[in-house]
């Protein structure tokens, strides 16, 4: 790839046009409706959890990932 040198900002080429805001909004809406078509939404429980070991934290994460998406597993092991 050749290197182009410019002595002044006025010599810079025009930047490529960005996609319009409506195209971005349409893409976001399509992605949102597609994710809703797959079923329940999955969110991590709010807050900060403290664990006594990395193993306890990993065990909690594995239980959360294996639980069905529609259960509210906000209780966690804080031991």
The pLDDT tens digits for 35-70 are 777 766 667 778 889 999 999 999 998 988 888 766
* pLDDT above 50 for 79: no
3-state helix, strand, coil in the chain (%, to 5): 40, 0, 60
For the chain, what percent of residues have pLDDT higher than 70? Answer: 77
**What's the pLDDT score for residue 52?**
95
Contacts of 51 (CB under 8 A, 6+ apart): 57, 60, 77, 78, 79
Give the burial class of 51: count Cβ atoms within 10 A of its Cβ; 0-12 exposed, 13-18 middle, 19 or more buried. Answer: middle
pLDDT in tens, 1-33: 788 887 888 888 887 776 677 888 888 888 887
């Amino acid at each position: 790839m050749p290197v182009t040198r410019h002595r002044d900002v006025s010599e810079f080429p025009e930047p490529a046009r960005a996609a319009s805001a409506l195209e971005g909004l349409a893409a976001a809406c399509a992605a949102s409706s597609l994710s809703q078509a797959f079923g329940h939404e999955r969110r991590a429980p709010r807050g900060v959890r403290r664990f006594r070991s990395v193993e306890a934290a990993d065990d909690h994460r594995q239980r959360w990932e294996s639980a069905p998406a529609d259960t509210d597993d906000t209780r966690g092991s804080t031991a």
